[in-house]
Amino acid sequence: MSDTLQGILWALLATALFATVAALAKIAVVDYHVLEILFFRQIVVFASALPNLLRNFPDNLRTSQPLAHGLRLIGAFCALSAGIWAVAVLPLATAVTLAFSQVFFVALLARWFLGEPVDRTRLVAVAAGFLGVIIVMRPGVDGLFNPYALIPVGGALGAAIAVSCVRHISQTESSATLLGYQAIFVGAMSGIPMFWLWVSPTLPDLILLLTMAVLATAAQWIGIRALRLAEVSIISNIEYMKLIYSGILGYLLFQEVPDRYTVLGALVIVFASACLFRREIGRKATLPHKRNQHRRPECNEQPAGKARHPAGESFRQAPVHQYDGAAEKEPPGKRADKHA
């Protein structure tokens, strides 16, 4: 089996796991606060990051960009919290669809965070993407505008901020530093409110919460493996399978049927983001080959645990995403190392 086919299969599995976690969150949030669900997830994230943290502690927490880290962590926390809150108050497919607006926020924020040009093609793609978001939100249509639709959009903005910060910070910070801040401080932000919000879970609910956390963490690392095996242009298109998975799970578990506005908006969002991503791949392909030659030795010379791109860049997710933990999925070539 070729590396590309293996990467596609791993990506399909990762996307299915992320959609499953969203569906389980919709069940858990009936009895438990959003932040308690997030706290359990961060416990598992911290446990998975602990070996890297201990390897060079406290050196791997030293940073020259504390403000950028702070902004990234706030964005990641908002993205992860909003992702859980959104599935509690919206149909599963609608929440997942609106979360894809992260792609367009990233395209706009790249101008300020990374100094990337925003030309006419990018602006048209971004405008078309937000048109798809507006279609899903359907303001003024039969008086059906749902203010809760702003929750996943706000979460997508937080994820975009986190992704943009990761892309900026990763130029100077190690993978261990990025992962360490993510594991510790997002966990603290969700953990401190537990003094007031904690509800002791029953044994079945404890299993549910831990299962969600394990599946989310596993999906994160499976997504990394997919990016190591196949080109990012292929893997990123598979992300849209999450729309199909969420529609199926929403119907089977919650008897939710996506309406025509959600379907139409999803098609517009997928088309616009695919055009935007294809443009970015084409732009990067024109960069001088000398630049890539310059970077490879730098990445290869990094000591173990210090890969240039963070193992915890999750906000995809992009996507990522959702900031499915905030993975940033646009390094050129194959992925070296994911989270918010």
pLDDT at 129 over 70: yes
User: Mean pLDDT over all residues of the chain?
Assistant: 76
pLDDT at 120 over 70: yes
Domain boundaries in the chain?
3-300
Q: What is the mean pLDDT of residues 94-105?
A: 83
pLDDT class of 284 with cuts at 50, 70, 90:
low
Phi-psi region of 326 (alpha: psi -120 to 50; beta: other; left: phi over 0): left
Q: What is the mean pLDDT of residues 61-82?
A: 85
pLDDT class of 26 with cuts at 50, 70, 90:
very high
| pLDDT of res. 310 | 38
pLDDT class of 196 with cuts at 50, 70, 90:
very high
Q: What is the pLDDT of residues 238-275, one digit of tens each?
A: 777 888 888 888 888 988 888 887 888 888 887 877 77
Q: What is the mean pLDDT of residues 310-328?
A: 42
Give the dihedral sign, CA 82/87/91/93: positive
Q: What is the pLDDT of residues 59-68, one digit of tens each?
A: 767 777 788 8
| pLDDT of res. 65 | 78
pLDDT class of 199 with cuts at 50, 70, 90:
very high
Evaluate whether 73 touches 340 at the Cβ level (below 8 Å): yes
Closest CA to 158 of 268, 22, 316: 316
Q: Tokens for 239?
A: 């992300």
pLDDT class of 318 with cuts at 50, 70, 90:
very low
pLDDT class of 136 with cuts at 50, 70, 90:
confident
pLDDT at 88 over 80: yes
Question: For the chain, what percent of residues have pLDDT higher than 70?
Answer: 73
Q: What is the mean pLDDT of residues 219-241?
A: 76
In Å, how far are 178, 303, 312 from 174, measured between CA atoms? 7, 10, 11
Task: Please spell the DSSP secondary structure of 125-181, one letter per residue.
Answer: HHHHHHHHHHHHH-TTSTT---GGGHHHHHHHHHHHHHHHHHHHHTTTS-HHHHHHH
| DSSP state at residue 184 | I
Q: What is the pLDDT of residues 139-169, one digit of tens each?
A: 655 545 678 888 998 998 998 888 888 777 7
